[in-house]
Amino acid sequence: MRLPMRAYAAFLAFLLTVVVGLPAFAQKITVAAAQVDRDGPGHDQPGFELFVSRSDCESPELFTFPFAISDVSGADVVEVWLADKSSIDCKSIEARNENSTGTHCVRLATADAAATGDILIPSADIANAISGVDECIDTASGGVPHHVTLYFLIIRAPGDAVPNEDAATFETDVDLLGPAPPTDVVAKSGAGSVTLEFTADDAEDLRGYFVYCAPPGGGGLSGCESSSLQSGQPPPGPELRCAPAEGDDPISATNALTVRDLAIGERVGMAIVAVDALGNPGVLSNVVCGEPQPVEDEGACSAAPHGPGAAGSIALGALALAAAGGLVLRRRRRLTCA
C-alpha cells in the first residue's frame, strides 16, 4: 500500500470527539474518538493506531466505540453504518437501502438508544463490509487503503432520513494488502548461505522483507518452482518462512539479503515478500533456486589424513608452508573442526 496523506490528518482527528452537524444544532449523539479502543495488539506507528490490517481482520479483535446520546424515546435505536466512499451519506434513507443493487451503506451494529454505553464491532465486520472485500481478501483497492466512515445514527423512524443532530461519524482506514514484491530476484549461492539480489519497489511504507523456502518441484512444476511457492500469489504459512525467524521483524534491505542455516548442497525454491508498516505481506516475487555450498571453516580446523595408513594431522598453516616448499602430499586429507 502507499501511505495516504490523510493518515496523518486522521491521527489528529482521533484525538477529538467526533460530532456531525452545524453548531446551531443541539447534538443528540456523540462518539468519543479519543476513547475508541481495540482489544487486539493494534499498531504503534503514528497515524496507524486505529487502522485495520489483514491480520486484524483475520483475528477476533473487537473495536469498542463509547457513545453518548440524549433526547431519545424508548422506541429509538442506535445503528452503525459503514460507507466506503466519500460520496455516500448514510444519513439518507436511500443509502441505507441494503436491497439496493447500487452502491450503499452496510449496517454493522444496533444498540439500545435508551442507554449511554459502548458499541462493540469486530475488525472483520468493518473490513468485510467494504465493496470488493470478502473474508479479508481485498480484490478492489489496487494496494491503496480504503478510507471508510462509520455513521452512528439515532433511528427514530426507519423510513426517514436522519438529521444532522442525530448523527455522529468516525473515520479510519482499512488496508489489507502489502506492497508490491521486489522484481528481478536472483539467487547466488555462498558458503552455507544463499544471497538473494533484487530490485526493490518504491513503496513509501515498506517495512522490510520475508523470505519463503520450499523444496523444488511438486504439483506438476519443474525446476525450482514449488507447488507451495507461486509467483504473484499470497505467501504460504509461517512454517515455510526461512528468514527471519517467526516472530521477528521483517528484514530491512536495499537490494540484497542473505539467508543462512539452509541444508548444504540441497536445492531449494525461494521467494521474497515485501511487508508494509502495518505488517501486511504482499505477494510472492519470482521463485528462484538456491543451493548453499559447503562451508570451509578456516578457524579451529586441521587437515587430517584419512584412509589406509593415515596417521596424525597437519595444521592448515603447515599445509601452506609445505606447498610453498614443494612438498607433495599424496594422501587424501579432509578438514576436521574442533
* CATH of residue 259: 2.60.40.10
Domain assignment present for residue 217? The answer is yes
Query: What's the whole-model pTM score?
Result: 0.70
41 and 154 in one domain? Answer: yes
160 and 14 in one domain? Answer: yes
Domain assignment present for residue 274? The answer is yes
Give the H/E segment covering residue 128.
helix 123-128
Pairing of strands 29-32, 62-69: antiparallel
Domain assignment present for residue 76? The answer is yes
73 and 107 in one domain? Answer: yes
200 and 140 in one domain? Answer: no
Measured in residues, the chain has a length of 338
Q: How far is CA 313 from CA 175, 310, 336, in A?
A: 62, 9, 10
199 and 126 in one domain? Answer: no
Last residue of a domain, one of 174, 209, 240: 174
Strand partners, 274: 209
Domain assignment present for residue 295? The answer is no
Q: Which domain holds residue 155?
A: 6-174
Which amino acid is located at 270 in the chain? M
Spell out the per-residue pLDDT of the chain, length 338, in tens: 555 545 544 444 443 334 333 344 688 999 998 999 999 887 877 778 899 999 999 999 999 999 998 888 878 999 999 999 999 999 999 999 988 777 789 999 998 887 778 999 999 999 999 999 999 989 877 778 999 999 999 999 888 999 999 999 999 999 999 999 999 999 999 999 999 999 998 888 899 999 999 988 765 566 677 778 999 998 988 899 999 987 788 999 999 999 998 989 889 999 999 999 899 999 999 999 999 999 876 554 333 333 333 333 323 333 233 333 333 323 323 333 33
With a CB cutoff of 8 Å and minimum separation 6, the contacts of 286 are 183, 184, 185, 231, 271
Q: How many domains does the chain have?
A: 3
Cell numbers found for residue 16:
477529538
Domain assignment present for residue 296? The answer is no
262 and 169 in one domain? Answer: no
